[in-house]
Structure 1
């Protein structure tokens, strides 16, 4: 395999949770393609977000322990992404006790990596970068995880973050980079939250600001949110040149809501790094679709790609909708089942879900 940054999955979307069986399938399909990291951080797991200070229920803790072991057997590092909700606004003794207990529970699960996620939270803290670095270093002393990562509050150049969460502090990235220990990894999504293209020049600038190569948190093929969940994201990766590899310490994709279908674009990302300037995104899509789905279903998906990815649920006519549901209902394959469920509205993510998860 050619030189590429460690590839990973960061299960960081809003919307319905994957099953443990589906997670195992994703790891099994992607590990042979160089995916070496899996972070469990779904927004729908309240015990990682709004109820972070409470322990996971025993049944979930057991599943997490089993999944950590499974990842290890597949040669994949297993991490958890914790969003300690707005803790940087009040990092007092009670917050520290709750966080210490949470980190001890994670160590018991057998995690190798830990990500502290400060994204999508409002900040009332003027010295935000310094406060966040302080929390990260405190976490490093308490946690047994071998690798620590952080998602900054401002994880993209995108002005939408300033509109929604308040104006970013001046020189926030530089301040955070200077304050963090060099071993801590930092997530970054690119010039936009969902970047159409990520270039070596951009990554060079961010690496300079942070004083380290970022881990790319790539918001493709994720399709959460009211608008995006009406579309299936299936096409091969574009706008991620293999030359990016020398400017990254990792490349993690935020997957689509459909676990098996997400592995198709995921495989194309590995191919784009392997093939460099020879990469062809539609050819890669067809190869990956055949590997995941088998020849017949892959052929059908290719024929319907335009309507599934570009037209979207709201604009498919009733007749076409019925025909698609019947067509994919005839395939005995779990990925065809995902398309049927999507057509039935199972994966629709509302604005309310985004605001409350």
Structure 2
């Protein structure tokens, strides 16, 4: 620090102290040498705009809650739970703010209400004006403080409450102004996989999770629900309909739109009024339990032949173009019915038979010409499981379908052959920033395992909320922290596990995300250290390998004991078992290398035991019936197994002396 800097700082502190003494600024705003700096909080999804100010707020044991008239009870309940979790014991209520704040006050409501406008003015903040947007402003005022949650609408206010939940995880959180809104209007999950569907409990927990990550859409479309596909004309059993109704109510509480999808394609007769009425009856039954958003799936069907002779008479010989015309006619009728029963903003969602790539075709041309422009069309990208999606890809899809598409992202779904034995837990990546300008939204097709799916789904929703500021690796770590309930040790163990499940296959021969990049970097460094010819480097490499092996071995027990949702450990059970066994094999491998490094004749025994454990670990089966394709579970395959196999060749082993 220069002498000028020192004189300036001393003068600034003296002037500030004098200003406090005469009441010009609150004493809480004074910068003190022993006061830690105010830092930007980690928030996921990343807000659109955050302005940080140099002060902090501690809620303490008592706050006053001011909820504007008409505030959604679920949002008020969420704020109350958040305050209680932050250590607040007493929550008083009021209808307006006092002239002077002598304690923490929390104001929440939509920005058109008087009390919220007053709070925003006091906070020198302005309301966000976009759908699902919100402003969260916090200020410290002498002995009091004010936190304002101003939603542009009820959904935006609920999102603001989720941001408050994250802020209050710190004992002191900064004064700031957040103006935030989603980049994409549709964000969430489509339960659209083959194989064992999620349980109703899985779905309920997933809806709670979607709320936490500011998603707004859940599409019910399990391929193995017979009443939605093979027996779509038949009514649901009363018990199933009641259970679905409970989910619909849960979704509403979480500000998530429950979309019901039906898949009539394998047997529908497009021109038959009876089939059209059967479709409408099914939707009417779902309306009876509160569903207001609907979807018709026409994927994975044969569209070059008719299901009935009547369609041949109505649309001519079968073929791709005729199929497009027939599908459009049915979908247009459903769209018109939605508008008539609900409102003009109602939009049917559909997935076409040609749901991947954006190449021009007779089918796409027919849909483009005949399909009601209000119908939302889904598209899976450049392939069924695309390795990447770019802005030009999305522009091509817009041109092909005549509207911005809703991306059905087949990640992390694991219902296809090349994903057998895998959990797909790499970061959500290789989707280009700026796609929000070319898509109407993104939904993830998750795994049969609901809780492990949250790792990728959190990334997808963070990208859909703010694609331009999305950081794949930081969000991946945040997903681990969320599953680890904020515990550093559990978070680290989960990241170690995620790395062993990093490979993301495609329908081709090459994966779009590599396997175990962190572990591979470590093992490559071990190889290099041993190969260097330097004794100290060799010793360090073996120590590093032992440390890594210990981390892999202990991670499963740490996860089982500490993961926030026990469903994770249950659904990942064989993978955790196999991981622990592979970790022990790597510990034995490290012991073998250490023995070889000192010339000990025990090295072959260590290596043999490692090979035996590795073989046992590689044979552990996945949970029978849990996924469409069963098979032995994969743990860092191509990385861990290769190193265990190669290790005996890295250091020449002295032959054991003859007995």
TM-score range, shorter chain: 0.7 to 0.9
Q: CA deviation at 1:120?
A: 0.2
Higher relative contact order (CA 8 A, sep 6+): 1
Q: CA deviation at 1:306?
A: 3.5
Select which of 237, 252, 256 maps to 2:428.
Answer: 237
Q: Please state how far the C-alpha of 1:290 moved relative to its aligned partner.
A: 0.7
**1:338 pairs with 2:555:** no
Counterpart of 1:55 in structure 2 is 235
For residue 304 of structure 1, the aligned residue among 468, 480, 497 is 497
Contact 1:231 1:309 in 2 (8 A): no
Q: Distance in 1 between matches of 2:464 and 2:273?
A: 46
**Residue 154 (str. 1) matches residue 354 (str. 2):** yes
Moved more, 175-184 or 342-351: 342-351
Within the candidate set 384, 403, 410, 1:212 is matched to 403
- Helix, strand or coil for the counterpart of 1:250? strand
CA distance 1:16–1:309, change in 2 (3 Å)? farther
Q: How many residues align?
A: 337
Other-structure match for 2:331: 136
Correspondence for 1:202: 393
Deviation at 1:34, TM superposition (A): 2.3
Equivalents in 2 of 1:292, 1:304: separation in Å?
A: 12
Matches within 5 A, 1:290-301: 290-294=481-485, 295=487, 296-301=489-494
Work out whether 1:4 is the aligned partner of 2:199.
no
* 1:206 Cα deviation after fit: 1.1
The alpha-carbon deviation at position 56 of structure 1 amounts to: 1.1
Partners of 1:65 and 1:194 in 2: CA distance: 32
Mapping 1:79-98, distance limit 5 Å: 79-87=259-267, 89=269, 91-98=271-278
Q: Which residue in 2 is equivalent to 1:67?
A: 247
Please state if 1:247 is matched with 2:438: yes
> Given the alignment, which residue of 206, 209, 223 partners 1:43?
223
Which structure features the higher share of helix residues?
Answer: 1
Structure 1 position 278, deviation (Å): 4.9
Task: Kindly provide the CA deviation profile for residues 90-113 of structure 1, in whole angstroms up to 9, marking residues without a partner as x.
Answer: 532432332232122122122121
Q: Which residue among 197, 204, 209 is the counterpart of 1:24?
A: 204
Question: How far, CA to CA, are the matches of 1:203 and 1:82 in structure 2?
Answer: 26
Quote how far apart the aligned CAs of 1:264 are.
Answer: 1.7
Shift of 1:273: 4.7
Any gaps of 5 or more consecutive residues in structure 1?
A: 160-168, 313-319, 352-357
- Shift of residue 209 of structure 1? 2.1
Please give the alpha-carbon distance, in whole angstroms, between the structure 2 residues aligned to 1:277 and 1:139: 36
Residue of 471, 481, 484 corresponding to 1:280: 471
Unaligned runs of 5+ in 2: 1-46, 49-181, 306-317, 506-549, 577-620, 631-659
Matching residue within 602, 606, 628 for 1:349: 628
Q: Distance in 2 between matches of 1:83 and 1:109?
A: 20
Question: How much does 1:293 deviate?
Answer: 2.7
Structure 1, 120-129 or 90-99: larger mean CA deviation: 90-99
Could you tell me whether the CA contact under 8 Å between 1:119 and 1:155 is conserved in 2? Answer: yes
Aligned to 2:14: none
Q: Tell me whether 141-150 or 196-205 shows the greater mean CA deviation.
A: 141-150
Deviation at 1:174, TM superposition (A): 2.6
Question: 2:383 corresponds to which residue?
Answer: 192
Deviates more, 1:97-106 or 1:281-290: 97-106
Once superposed, what is the RMSD of the aligned Cα atoms? 2.9
What secondary structure does 2:369 align onto? helix
Pick closer, same or farther for the CA change 1:205–1:47 going to 2, 3 Å: same
Q: Is the 8 A contact 1:214 1:250 kept in 2?
A: yes
| TM-aligned CA deviation for residue 274 of structure 1 | 5.3
Distance in 1 (alpha carbons) for counterparts of 2:427 and 2:471: 9
Taking the aligned partners of 1:170 and 1:337, their CA distance within structure 2 comes to: 45
Deviates more, 1:124-133 or 1:23-32: 23-32
Q: Partner of 2:216: helix, strand, or coil?
A: strand
SS of residue in 1 equivalent to 2:378: strand
Stretch deviating more after TM superposition (91-100 or 172-181)? 91-100
Give distance in 1, aligned partners of 2:395 and 2:230. Answer: 35
Q: CA deviation at 1:256?
A: 1.5
* Matches of 1:32 and 1:327, distance apart in 2: 24
Deviations 1:232-282 (A, max 9, x none): 111211111230001111211111211112112111223335564554322
**Alpha-carbon distance change, 288 to 328 in structure 1, aligned in 2, over 3 angstroms:** closer
**SS at 2:501 equivalent:** helix
Q: CA deviation at 1:75?
A: 0.8
| SS class of match (1:91) | coil
CA contact (8 A) 2:406 2:440 kept: yes
Q: Would you say the 8 A contact 1:14–1:44 is kept in 2? A: yes
- The offset of 1:225, in angstroms, is 2.3
1:137 to 1:199, Cα distance in 2 relative to 1, 3 A: same
- Corresponding residue for residue 166 of structure 1: none
Conservation of the 8 A alpha-carbon contact between 1:53 and 1:102:
yes
- Rg comparison, structure with higher value: 2
Q: For 1:77, which of 230, 248, 257 is the aligned residue?
A: 257
Cα-to-partner distance string for 1:175-214 (whole Å, 9 max, x where unaligned): 2022111111000001000111111111111112222100
Deviations 1:118-176 (A, max 9, x none): 000011132011100001022234444632011100001299xxxxxxxxx93321320
Match of 1:355 in 2: none
